[in-house]
């Protein structure tokens, strides 16, 4: 058998890894790619297309349920497994119990009364179950007894104190000592909690930064510190939820990881072990502990006899793989390491024969989307894998009936997670599984996609290989906020749109409609993130860290980097501008990933900034309330400092996008005059986010129209300049969370604009923001940053080598941009779309105005923050304002008050700002 297995192993190395992956480097542009015109969701063959350039074809038996499972544990009696979802408003409520013999759910959505959840652990005899999470801003440990059939019964809930730095203490993984004490990683407090489950008494042991997981070995505990070591003098640091973490001086990404060794007899740290970057879950086999390092793509092996790292295992799912696998959990079965690769949707199986021998990769097993935890079912010889993102946003669709026609709207928040029950693999399973993982990740085409450039190639718009010359020398990358395709382009009259879900039609967005008709109409493009904290990472990094993905799935208790604001969310492979700088391409940034906008004068309100815009544009005389340059954008990513144009405002719907356009115009005209336009220009124009119905802010329609006009003017400005002849403009949303779409909640209105693209076509090829990142890299000659963009196709089919240099003329706004909420006339503007203006509709509009006003400072002003307000509440507010206060929100029977919407599960989690 061993001989046969070795032959199979050679087959993987020789056939799968070499012949298929490392085949000849042909012309990739001629291929159609693996995803064709797939729509996100389930395919005819049973696979699932994700919005991150991957297919899902998981091995074994799949158990699907609402929500994002974060942890899984098998009862010591071997009969059941239990998993916990990350938050109570993403489609699930709490705990699911699975019968391991039948693979069926016996308990679903067992509520723990928590808004966000994380850790699970059984007592040694399986009679007790413990879970960690939070209720609002209070960290909790829930104590449960277990019935004979495996179902839990809540006994009590232990409340935890606030973190030392303030706010939620953020309890993560939990384990149980041989004496029955509970050990909890108190992530925001940088401590290990030792809890008596009987009395609730808590002892805290200071460890290092952002502890995440705990393993107990007798009287010793091992704690992974995902935020790494405590900073020393001379270190470059960036804040992560109140803690200064050590970072790379350029990218701002964390660079250290440690494991604290705790003596449980004295509750003291006896040693700190340096491991890889952002260590997470661990397992033990004999005297060795295996630690997964998500940002290093390694596993550290610790010898418990010496508490030293005796081996570091490089996790490379294919030869010479770039970083990006994100190993995040590990188990040992029959001397084989089973390592979950979160970003690769796979379990990597290694043959481990001790620390003195380099382990060999035996093969891969496909999982569902984003595996995060592994348990072992020894009785049935299965791996039990928790897949946090499961099959994606495929939960219950919201039905809407208009004029007798029913349509189905999907939200990015309707998450469906899963458990995979995967049999312990045979050699044949590993050969089959490896091939499947390669196909699902588009790894078979890697050599073609990343072939070395050839000499003496004639410039073309989209080079066949990175490093070959392009006719395009300047790229503009514009990031907008939160709209689905159907919300904006559903009424276009061509392409795959659903007019019933359109909230910002042509009258509101004439430029976006004209751009979609003039340049390629892209009706099958997806944002990869759910909300801004994950969305901006995908848009600018072509990936998302394991840390931030889990933060998104658990309600961002620790932080909310809605663009930036937490070093732990930054990938070690850097941002797009880091890659440009690395390869000597000039960059200028307007607003993207900036964190504030500060200056000496009073900040003012929307009307003040609106008047400043009118003065800057020449439409009005007078003095600016804030002279240009007095206010400056702030940042926490070091590499942003030299390239950011500081007078350009960061996120704040209190500042019109017309003002942002005028600031950009001033700088752009200087570049035209000086002939020094950078190669890469990134920009964040965000007022399509809207400020709900808040008084003295523009209506949602006016804000989206403002954003539409700004985009139109930007394209007009560039297209009438000398730089039009060698420029391309890519426009994307950061996410599509604030609306519904009949295909998928991640589908977005996206644009590729240039003289070098095919005009007037409809392109239904499957694309994501990762393809946009790859296209920008391809044009500018930048090698891929990580595994995701290395496997992504450039959007070659959109481009032509027969340019049309006709400039674009923007369309003036069709509605007044200064139409404000709450003006005299009892919300006339908000009621404009209401067919039957009854007293009830008038009263409802006033209640939604009152709700919006309560959150006005989170929408707009100096302390505004992306997504600080619950998305479900804002979506209802904007729906009624755009569709009418007599139009039920999709899936509901009547128009609801804020109090009624607040009772919905989707509104239960507090905003990140409250955590």
Asked if 86 and 116 count as a contact pair (C-beta separation under 8 A), the reply is yes
Spans in the chain with pLDDT lower than 70:
1-33, 395-407, 822-836, 859, 861-867, 908-915
Write down the pLDDT at residue 475.
98
CB atoms within 10 A of CB 228: 27
Asked if 208 and 258 count as a contact pair (C-beta separation under 8 A), the reply is yes
- The span from the CA of 449 to the CA of 137, in Å, is 47
Phi and psi for 229 in degrees, rounded to 5? -80, 165
Residues 6+ apart with CB under 8 A from 636: 238, 239, 252, 564, 565, 567, 595
Greatest alpha-carbon pair distance for the chain in Å reads 87
- Residue 310 is inside which H or E element, if any? strand 308-314
Residue 644 is given by DSSP the state B
345 CB burial (10 A radius; 0-12, 13-18, 19+): buried
Phi and psi for 533 in degrees, rounded to 5? -60, -35
Helix, coil or strand: residue 476: strand
- Class of the CATH-defined domain 468-798: alpha beta
Write down the pLDDT at residue 909.
47
Write down the pLDDT at residue 824.
45
- The span from the CA of 10 to the CA of 130, in Å, is 44
- The span from the CA of 157 to the CA of 130, in Å, is 10
Q: Percentage helix, strand, coil, to 5, in the chain?
A: 25, 30, 45
Phi and psi for 715 in degrees, rounded to 5? -65, -40
**Tens digits of residue pLDDT in 281-297:** 999 999 999 999 999 99
Asked if 505 and 705 count as a contact pair (C-beta separation under 8 A), the reply is no
* Sequence spans of domains, the chain: 468-798, 839-914
Sequence-ordered alpha helix ranges (H) in 322-445: 427-441
Helix, coil or strand: residue 428: helix
Write down the pLDDT at residue 865.
67
Residues 6+ apart with CB under 8 A from 356: none
Write down the pLDDT at residue 1.
33
Write down the pLDDT at residue 912.
46
**Tens digits of residue pLDDT in 344-375:** 999 999 999 999 999 999 999 999 999 999 99
- The span from the CA of 700 to the CA of 687, in Å, is 9
Write down the pLDDT at residue 27.
32
Residues 6+ apart with CB under 8 A from 245: 209, 210, 227, 228, 231, 237, 238, 239, 254, 567, 568
Residue closest to 670 by CA, chosen among 721, 622, 615: 721
Residues 6+ apart with CB under 8 A from 221: 175, 177, 183, 192, 214, 215, 261, 262, 264
- The span from the CA of 654 to the CA of 820, in Å, is 12
Write down the pLDDT at residue 840.
83
307 CB burial (10 A radius; 0-12, 13-18, 19+): middle
Write down the pLDDT at residue 819.
86
- The span from the CA of 474 to the CA of 679, in Å, is 4
pTM of the model: 0.93
Asked if 526 and 771 count as a contact pair (C-beta separation under 8 A), the reply is no
Residue closest to 711 by CA, chosen among 871, 481, 521: 481
Phi and psi for 420 in degrees, rounded to 5? -110, 125
Q: Which residues pair with 206 in a beta bridge?
A: 191
Concatenated DSSP letters of 154-211: EEEEEE-PPPTTSS---EEEEEE-TTS-EEEEEGGGTEEEEE-TTT--EEEEE-SEEE
Residues 6+ apart with CB under 8 A from 565: 239, 559, 595, 636
* Dihedral of alpha carbons 740, 815, 481, 672, sign: positive
Residue closest to 579 by CA, chosen among 682, 720, 464: 682
Residue closest to 782 by CA, chosen among 752, 790, 683: 790
- The span from the CA of 759 to the CA of 800, in Å, is 9
- Residue 874 is inside which H or E element, if any? helix 871-883
Concatenated DSSP letters of 521-566: EE-SEE-S-SSHHHHHHHHHHSS--HHHHHHHHTT-SS---SSSS-
- The span from the CA of 571 to the CA of 838, in Å, is 53
Write down the pLDDT at residue 836.
65
Residues 6+ apart with CB under 8 A from 910: 115, 136, 137, 555, 870
- The span from the CA of 164 to the CA of 188, in Å, is 8
- Residue 62 is inside which H or E element, if any? strand 61-66
Q: Which residues pair with 768 in a beta bridge?
A: 526
Q: Which residues of 691-708 are buried (b: 16+ CB within 10 A; e: fewer)?
A: bbbbebbbbbbbbbbbbb
Asked if 332 and 285 count as a contact pair (C-beta separation under 8 A), the reply is yes
Asked if 551 and 582 count as a contact pair (C-beta separation under 8 A), the reply is no
Q: What is the CA radius of gyration of the chain?
A: 27
Asked if 195 and 181 count as a contact pair (C-beta separation under 8 A), the reply is yes
Write down the pLDDT at residue 559.
87
**SS3 track for 696-757:** CCECHHHHHHHHHHHHHHHHHHHHCCHHHHHEEEEEEECCCCCCCECCCCCECCEEEECCCE
- Residue 852 is inside which H or E element, if any? helix 839-854
Q: What angle do CA 200, 205, 207 make, to 5 degrees?
A: 135
């Amino acid at each position: 058998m061993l001989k046969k297995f070795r032959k199979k192993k050679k087959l993987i190395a020789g056939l799968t890894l070499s012949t298929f992956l490392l085949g000849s480097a042909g012309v990739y542009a001629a291929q159609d790619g693996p995803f064709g015109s797939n729509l996100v969701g389930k395919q005819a063959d049973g696979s699932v297309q994700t919005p991150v350039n991957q297919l899902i074809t998981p091995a074994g038996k799949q158990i699907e349920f609402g929500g994002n499972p974060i942890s899984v544990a098998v009862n010591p009696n071997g009969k059941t497994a239990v998993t916990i979802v990350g938050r109570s408003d993403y489609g699930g409520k709490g705990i699911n119990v699975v019968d391991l013999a039948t693979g069926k759910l016996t308990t679903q959505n067992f509520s723990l009364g928590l808004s966000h959840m994380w850790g699970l652990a059984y007592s040694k005899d399986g009679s007790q179950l413990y879970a960690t999470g939070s209720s609002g801003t209070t960290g909790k440990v829930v104590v449960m007894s277990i019935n004979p059939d495996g179902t839990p019964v809540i006994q009590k809930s232990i409340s935890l104190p606030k973190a030392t730095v303030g706010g939620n203490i953020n309890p993560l993984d939990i384990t149980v000592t041989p004496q029955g004490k509970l050990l909890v990683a108190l992530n925001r407090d940088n401590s290990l909690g030792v809890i008596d489950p009987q009395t609730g008494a808590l002892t805290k042991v200071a460890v290092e930064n952002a502890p995440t997981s705990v393993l107990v070995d007798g009287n010793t505990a091992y704690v992974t510190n995902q935020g790494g070591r405590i900073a020393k003098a001379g270190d470059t640091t960036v804040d992560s939820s109140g803690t200064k973490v050590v970072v790379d001086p350029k990218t701002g990404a964390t660079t250290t990881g440690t494991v604290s060794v705790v003596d449980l007899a004295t509750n003291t740290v006896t040693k700190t072990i340096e491991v890889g970057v952002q260590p997470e879950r661990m397992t033990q086999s004999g005297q060795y502990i295996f630690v997964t390092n998500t940002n290093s793509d390694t596993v550290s092996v610790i010898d418990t006899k010496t508490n030293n790292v005796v081996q570091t295992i490089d996790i490379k799912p294919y030869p010479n793989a770039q970083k990006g696998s994100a190993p995040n959990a590990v188990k040992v079965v029959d001397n084989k390491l089973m390592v979950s690769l979160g970003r690769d949707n796979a379990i990597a199986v290694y043959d481990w024969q001790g620390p003195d021998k380099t382990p060999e990769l035996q093969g891969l097993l496909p999982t569902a989307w984003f595996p995060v935890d592994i348990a072992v079912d020894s009785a049935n010889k299965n791996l039990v894998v928790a897949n946090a993102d499961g099959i994606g946003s495929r939960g219950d669709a919201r039905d809407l009936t208009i004029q007798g026609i029913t349509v189905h709207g999907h939200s990015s928040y309707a998450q469906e997670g899963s458990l995979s029950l995967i049999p312990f693999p045979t050699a044949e399973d590993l050969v089959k599984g490896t091939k499947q993982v390669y196909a699902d990740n588009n790894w078979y085409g890697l050599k073609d996609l990343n072939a070395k450039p050839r000499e003496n190639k004639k410039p073309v718009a989209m080079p066949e290989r990175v490093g070959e010359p392009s006719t395009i020398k300047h790229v503009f990358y514009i990031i907008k906020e939160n709209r689905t395709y159907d919300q904006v382009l559903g009424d276009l009259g061509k392409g795959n749109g659903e007019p019933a879900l359109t909230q910002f039609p042509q009258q509101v967005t004439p430029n976006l409609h004209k751009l979609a008709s003039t340049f390629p109409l892209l009706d099958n493009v997806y944002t990869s993130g759910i909300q801004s904290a994950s969305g901006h990472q995908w848009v600018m990094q072509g990936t998302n860290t394991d840390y931030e993905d889990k933060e998104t799935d658990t309600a961002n208790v620790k932080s909310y980097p809605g663009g930036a604001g937490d070093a732990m969310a930054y990938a070690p492979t850097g941002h797009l501008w880091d890659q440009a700088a690395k390869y000597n391409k000039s960059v200028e940034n307007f607003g993207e990933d900036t964190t504030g906008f500060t200056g000496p004068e009073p900040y003012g309100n929307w009307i003040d900034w609106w008047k400043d815009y009118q003065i800057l544009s020449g439409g009005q005389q007078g003095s600016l309330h804030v002279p240009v340059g007095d206010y400056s954008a702030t940042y926490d990513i070091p590499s942003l400092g030299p390239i950011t144009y500081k007078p350009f405002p960061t996120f704040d719907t209190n500042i019109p996008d017309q003002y942002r356009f005028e600031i950009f115009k001033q700088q752009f005209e200087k570049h035209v005059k000086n002939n020094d336009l950078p190669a890469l220009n990134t920009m964040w124009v965000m007022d399509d986010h809207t400020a709900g119905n808040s008084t003295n802010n523009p209506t949602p329609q006016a804000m989206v129209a403002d954003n539409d006009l700004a985009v139109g003017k930007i394209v007009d400005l560039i297209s009438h300049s000398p730089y039009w002849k060698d420029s391309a403009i890519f426009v994307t949303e950061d996410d599509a969370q604030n609306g519904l779409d009949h295909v998928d909640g991640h589908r977005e209105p996206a644009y590729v604009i240039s003289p070098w693209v095919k005009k007037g076509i409809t392109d239904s090829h499957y694309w994501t923001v990762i393809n946009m990142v790859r296209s920008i890299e391809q044009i500018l000659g930048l090698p891929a940053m990580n595994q995701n963009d290395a496997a992504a196709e450039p959007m070659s089919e959109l481009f032509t080598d027969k340019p049309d240099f006709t400039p674009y003329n923007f369309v003036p706004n069709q509605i007044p941009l200064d139409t404000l909420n709450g003006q005299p006339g009892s919300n006339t503007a908000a009621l404009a779309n209401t067919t039957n203006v009854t007293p009830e509709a008038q009263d409802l509009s006033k209640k939604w105005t009152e709700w919006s006003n309560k959150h006005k400072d989170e929408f707009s002003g100096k302390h505004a923050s992306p997504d600080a307000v619950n998305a479900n509440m804002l979506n209802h507010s904007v729906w009624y304002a755009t569709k009418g206060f007599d139009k039920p929100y999709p899936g509901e029977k009547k128009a609801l008050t804020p109090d009624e919407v607040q009772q919905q599960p989707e509104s239960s989690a507090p905003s990140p700002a409250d955590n």
